[in-house]
Amino acid sequence: MLEVDHISYQAQGRTLLNDVSVQVRSGAFTAFMGANGAGKSTLLKIISGEVKAPAGTISWNGKKLGEWDLKELAKVRAILRQQYNMQMPFSSEDIIAMGRYPHFRHKMTSRCKTVIKEVAEYVGVEQFLKRNYLTLSGGEQQRVQLARVLAQVWDATATERLILLDEPVSALDIQYQHQVLALVKELTASGFTIVAVLHDLNLAMQYSDDILMLKKGNKVTFGTKEEALSEAHIYETFGVEAALHQAKGYPHSFITICPVWKRYHGMTASGLQ
């Protein structure tokens, strides 16, 4: 379990997080959602260790982050960011191999080479292993980066593995958004714990299990996606009216946002046909 306990954070006189506490279930896909500046990415950076919070604690599997040996923590926790400004012409295989750095000292072991092949096959990029990473499309690059992240934690036991994703699909076309999130969602069936910053309400409804809604650094709600993505919580978090629709043959609801111009003309989401 990932425990976020009374986390607060300020920067340049602004409160970015205010006494936020949640318990993220192991083996679940949890999304952090909110408007720009709500504190989503800041909280993820604190969980990843990139930023240290002056108040509160983060624990993974009952152990506070500060108590972990950094090398051992790197073997169970990895992060996938929105974009990587890669300029060197590394091969995709080289990129994935970077995820194995916590596992060897001077040169890669045979186990590392096996893992690289396994994760490349899992995310469907084995055909790109010898390709120049810079020649790949945005979606292909992000899948290679996902393979790198998986290579980092591949040897850990199922319930030890924590993957953090900071807006992993916001720069991708629709097809690649679903490819990446479907792969990530599939990992939870193997015991991976996934925490992702997402902006798209419908993607969160389709792929996540639980959702933390933030507004100006404060927790609005935390619960299952059905509980969190209610019309009332969407309005409180984003300031827009929404309607939830159930489509035949789909296990989840779809969310329609009431166009702002229609609100100004007296039409609300409940009046949409």
Report domain extents, the chain.
Answer: 1-76+156-237, 92-147, 240-273
Tokens 């995310």 belong to which residue? 123
* Contact call for residues 256 and 245 (beta carbons, < 8 A): yes
pLDDT band at 262 (very low <50, low <70, confident <90, very high): low
Mean per-residue pLDDT over the chain, rounded: 90
Q: Is the pLDDT of residue 138 over 80?
A: yes
* Contact call for residues 56 and 6 (beta carbons, < 8 A): yes
Which region among 40-54, 80-94, 193-207 has the lowest average model confidence (pLDDT)? 80-94
For residue 11, what are its two tokens? 């920067």
Q: Is the pLDDT of residue 268 over 80?
A: no
Q: Supply angle C-alpha 258, 260, 261, rounded to 5.
A: 115
pLDDT of the residue at 158? 80
Say what the pTM is: 0.89
Count of CB atoms within 10 A of residue 259's CB? Answer: 14
| Superfamily (CATH H level) for 1-76+156-237 | P-loop containing nucleotide triphosphate hydrolases (3.40.50.300)
- What is the C-alpha separation between 142 and 150, in angstroms, rounded? 12
pLDDT of the residue at 273? 46
Summarised one tens digit per residue, pLDDT across range 218-255 is 999 999 999 999 999 999 999 999 999 988 888 888 99
Summarised one tens digit per residue, pLDDT across range 76-93 is 999 988 767 778 889 999
Q: Is the pLDDT of residue 185 over 60?
A: yes
Average pLDDT over residues 119-142: 93
For residue 82, what are its two tokens? 């929105």
pLDDT band at 159 (very low <50, low <70, confident <90, very high): confident
Which region among 99-103, 159-163, 203-207, 256-260 has the lowest average model confidence (pLDDT)? 256-260
